[in-house]
Amino acid sequence: MDERPPEISGSLLTIGDEILLGDILNGNARHIALELRNRGFRLDRMITVGDREEDIVSSLVLCLADSRFIIVTGGLGPTDDDRTNAAVSRAFDRPLVADEAYVGRLKERLAERGQAWSNEVAKMTELPAGAVKIGMDMAGFFIDHGNVPCYFLPGVPGEMKFLLAEVVIPDLDRRFPQRSAYLKEVVRVQGMVESEVNRRLKDLDCRRIGVEIGYLPQGSENWVTLFAVAASEEECRTRINKVREEVVARLGKKHISGRNDECLEKAVGEKLRERGWRMAAAESCTGGLLSTRLTSIAGSSDYFDQAFITYSNQAKQDHLGVSEDMLRAHGAVSEPVALAMAEGACRGARVEVALGITGIAGPAGGSAEKPVGTVCIACVTPMEKRVEKHRFEGVRESIRQSAAQAALLLLWRVLTDDSNLHCH
C-alpha cells in the first residue's frame, strides 16, 4: 500500500434529553459525520448525553483524553436545562466570564424587539475563560484546550450547519492540512437477498486494493458499501471504481439499480425519459405516497403526468372504470382490481405507463384470506402487463412504504427488461 497522510479523527458530543427520550432524531450527528468525512476527517466516537451537568462533564473529560478535535452541540440556550457552559467550565477548569461583545450584541437585538434584558439571557453570555465567541447572532464558542480544538455549537440544526460550514471545517482545514482522504460509495442492489449478495462477494479481496466492503439492508433493497482511505480523493475513486466493477460483474448488472443517491424513483424516471414514455399512478392504500416519491425528483414533469387517489370502491369505479362486478367478485384488494386500476389510469391520463396499487395497510380490515399487509400491484406498459401480490409485515406506515417501494421496483424491472428496450 502507498504511504498516506495521517487520519485525523475526533469526537462528537450531542446534548439533550429530547434526543435520549426519542422525541427528536439526532440529525445533527449524521450531518456532522457526513460533512467531516467529505473533507477528510473522521469521528472516533459519537456520544449522546442528556442535560445532566455531571454527564456532560464526564463525557468531555473522556473525549479530551484522546481526540484530535471535539465538536459539541446543544445546551447553549438561556433555559435551566442548558448546562453546557457550566459543564465546560468544570471539565476544562476555566471560570465563566461574561463576553462583553456578546453582551452588547444581545442587548441590541433585544432592544430591537422591545424585550428586556434578563438573567436568563445573561447566562448565555457567560463563557469559559479563554473562549472565542463564534456566530455573534447565535449561540456558540471555540476553545483551544491543550492543543485540542473544541467547537461548541447550538443544537438548532440551521445554526449548527451554518457554523460547521463557515467556522469549524475551515478551521480544521487550516489546523490539519496533511490528512488522508475518504470516499464512500453505495451500490444499490435489487432482487437479491442479503445472504446471496454476501455469498457472491465474500471472497472478493478488497483490502488488498485498499477498499472496505460492507452490507446494509434497506427495506427491499440491499446496499453494498465501498469505503476507501488514501492520500487523495482521486486515488480513493480509482480504488473504488476497480472494486465496483467486480461487484457488478459478480452480482449481475440487472440487479444494480444505481449508486449513492440514485434511488429507484430517480432510476425509473431516467428509464422513462429515455423511452419518451409518460406515466400515471392509481393509488389506494398508499394514498399518494408513490406519486410523492416519483415527483420528488427534479424534472419529473418530463415523464410523470398525474395520479388518481382512489381510496373508496366508488372512486375506483368513477375515476378508473373498475367495474362493480369485478369489485364484488374479487374484492378491492385483488390482482384483477390492481390491473384494472392501472389500465384505467392509462386510459384516463392517455399515457404509456401506469402503476396500480391496492391493499390493506391496517391495523383493521384484514381477514384470514386477505390479512393486513396484503397488497396487489400492477404495471401496464405498451409491451406488457404485470401483476404482483405481496404480504408485507409491520405497522400501517411501514406497509404503505413497502408497497410504494415494491411498485417502484416492479416498474424498474419492467423498464430494464431487455425485451422492452426497443419499444417506443
Would you call 237 exposed, middle or buried from its count of C-beta atoms within 10 A (0-12, 13-18, 19+)?
A: middle
Output the pLDDT for position 418.
Answer: 59
Question: Which of 259, 292, 322 corresponds to the end of one domain?
Answer: 259
pTM, two decimal places:
0.80
Q: Grid coordinates in use for 187? A: 451500490
Question: Which of 175, 194, 222 corresponds to the end of one domain?
Answer: 175
Rounded to a whole number of angstroms, the distance between the first and last alpha carbons of the chain is 50
Alpha-carbon distance of 142 to 154, in angstroms, equals 12
Q: Is position 2 within any domain?
A: no
- Taking 50 as the pLDDT cut, the residues of the chain under it are 1, 421-424
Tell me: do 163 and 72 sit in the same domain. yes
Alpha-carbon distance of 197 to 178, in angstroms, equals 37
Tell me: do 171 and 37 sit in the same domain. yes
Tell me: do 411 and 331 sit in the same domain. yes
Burial code (b: 16+ CB inside 10 Å, e: under 16) for 123-148 equals bbbbbbeebeebbeeebbbbbebeeb
Tell me: do 212 and 233 sit in the same domain. yes
Tell me: do 280 and 326 sit in the same domain. yes
- Identify whether 363 is preceded by a cis peptide bond (ω within 30 of 0): yes
What CATH code is carried by the domain that includes residue 152?
3.40.980.10
Tell me: do 156 and 190 sit in the same domain. no
Output the pLDDT for position 1.
Answer: 46
Q: Using an 8 Å Cβ cutoff, are 116 and 78 in contact?
A: no
Tell me: do 12 and 99 sit in the same domain. yes
Output the pLDDT for position 9.
Answer: 95
Tell me: do 272 and 238 sit in the same domain. no
Alpha-carbon distance of 152 to 134, in angstroms, equals 9
Count the domains in the chain: 3
Output the pLDDT for position 101.
Answer: 93
Q: Is position 1 within any domain?
A: no
Tell me: do 271 and 366 sit in the same domain. yes
As a dihedral over the C-alpha atoms of residue 325, residue 331, residue 336, residue 341, rounded to 10 degrees, the angle is 90
For residue 281, give every residue at least 6 positions away whose Cβ sits within 8 Å of its Cβ, in sequence order, or none: 290, 291, 294, 304, 307, 308, 345, 354, 355, 356, 357, 407
Q: Using an 8 Å Cβ cutoff, are 278 and 304 in contact?
A: yes
Question: Which of 198, 227, 259 corresponds to the end of one domain?
Answer: 259
Structural domain containing residue 24:
8-175
Output the pLDDT for position 2.
Answer: 54
C-alpha closest to that of 359 among 404, 315, 314, 326: 404
Tell me: do 226 and 274 sit in the same domain. no
Output the pLDDT for position 3.
Answer: 67
What CATH code is carried by the domain that includes residue 321?
3.90.950.20
- Residue 71 one-letter amino acid: I
Tell me: do 284 and 301 sit in the same domain. yes
